[in-house]
Amino acid sequence: MKCRVCKRDAQISLKSYNLNLCSNCFLEFFRKRVYTTINEFKMCTPKDRILVAVSGGKDSLSLWHILSDLGYRTCGLHIILDIGEYSQRSYQQVIKFAQTKSLELRVVSVRDEFGKSIKELAKIAKRPPCRVCGMVKRYLMNREAEAFDCLATGHNLDDEASTLLGNLLNWQEGFLSRQAPVLEENYTLKRKIKPFAFISQEEITLYAELCGIDYLEERCPFSRRATSLIYKGVLNKIEEEMPATKLRFYKGFIKREYFKGGKREELSPCKRCGYLTVGEVCNFCKLKEKVLERKNLTEGGDDVRRDSYLKGNH
């Protein structure tokens, strides 16, 4: 097997491109594709300050790695979710990466915001942990990106294709509008970019390993219940039989610009914080109010119990 570019021995076979490459030519191929995506979709310029959301996993750390290598001005953002030891290890991984590469990092914590962990918040909101976590992360990322030109996330082709499949299977037309590789700035919502939108998980893993990126392999314990894993599994099976299906699927969607003509939800500023939302108050502020109500109730409840105890009514 020979490298299609330099004709030396090839170690990598990319079935979806019907392409064999050596490690060096693969890295060059990878860099070019990320760079082309950024320019084609006018995601950012070298002058922009980019906030990169980093969890400690391979996608986000690879994204931070390549953006800084390509000369973009980046700062990492890590959100401590307080999901037991998984969160501690994620945080350590991000700190280590930032220190090794001498990159700037901002850290925010869910417990500092709410005084609760994601699991506790999910109970209060009576919602699955991933729903609450996703909403809280989106809000915090957007808020922290205020002083930046855009927010970059490590969403890859597998994420985009599986989300697209899920949205189509459930006919969630409103969500299709959020599936573009770049979402322009809109009032209080910062521009969001996904430079890996056309790059598969497999390619990112190769990149991370060839570049010696030390990432956390462990997944969040809540991810086992995520429906996106089912869609990913189905797409992987199709891909095995018919390489390049995921790429064709997502590219076909982007080409047809359904997301531009799709029904968009009517958004208006949250009455509490100004964040664009559906309805009067955003879900983040609603959750804060619920946490506060619960705290007042518990404290009030304690007082009532204490009073009745003192009065001998227990």
Which of residues 118 and 180 has its CB atom nearest to ligand SF4 in the complex?
118
Site string for ligand SF4, 211-230 (x = CB under 6 A): ---------x-xx--x----
User: Could you tell me which residues come within 8 angstroms of residue 20 by beta carbon, excluding any fewer than 6 positions away?
Assistant: 1, 2, 3, 4, 10, 12, 13, 14
Residue in 158, 150, 140, 113 with CA at minimum distance from that of residue 16: 158
Which of residues 16 and 188 has its CB atom nearest to Zn ion in the complex?
188
132 token code pair: 């609450």
Applying CB under 6 A, the span of 130-138, 162-170, 180-188, 296-304 interacting with ligand SF4 comes to 130-138
Give the CA-trace dihedral at 23, 27, 32, 34, to 10 degrees: 130
Q: Which helix (H) or strand (E) holds 49?
A: strand 49-53
The yes or no reply on residue 285 touching Zn ion (CB under 5 A) is yes
The yes or no reply on residue 134 touching ligand SF4 (CB under 6 A) is yes
Q: Which residue is associated with the tokens 């910062």? A: 190
Applying CB under 5 A, the span of 25-33, 177-185, 241-249, 266-274 interacting with Zn ion comes to 266-274
CB of 274 to Zn ion, least distance (A): 7
Which of residues 249 and 275 has its CB atom nearest to Zn ion in the complex?
275
The yes or no reply on residue 53 touching ligand SF4 (CB under 6 A) is no
Residue 10: alpha-carbon gap to chain centroid: 33
Site string for Zn ion, 221-260 (x = CB under 5 A): ----------------------------------------
281 token code pair: 């108050």
298 token code pair: 């518990």
Cα–Cα distance measured from residue 181 to residue 192, given in angstroms and rounded to the nearest whole number: 8
Residue in 150, 139, 142 with CA at minimum distance from that of residue 38: 150
User: Could you tell me which residues come within 8 angstroms of residue 150 by beta carbon, excluding any fewer than 6 positions away?
Assistant: 43, 44, 48, 50, 51, 185, 190, 191, 192, 193
CB of 283 to Zn ion, least distance (A): 8
Select the binding partner of residue 275 from Zn ion, ligand SF4, none (C-beta < 5 to 8 A, by kind): Zn ion
Applying CB under 5 A, the span of 60-68, 204-212, 281-289, 303-311 interacting with Zn ion comes to 281-289
Rg (CA), the chain: 22
CB of 159 to ligand SF4, least distance (A): 11
Q: Which residues bind ligand SF4 (CB under 6 A)?
A: 81, 118, 129-130, 133-134, 220, 222-223, 226
Q: Which residues bind Zn ion (CB under 5 A)?
A: 270, 272-273, 275, 282, 285
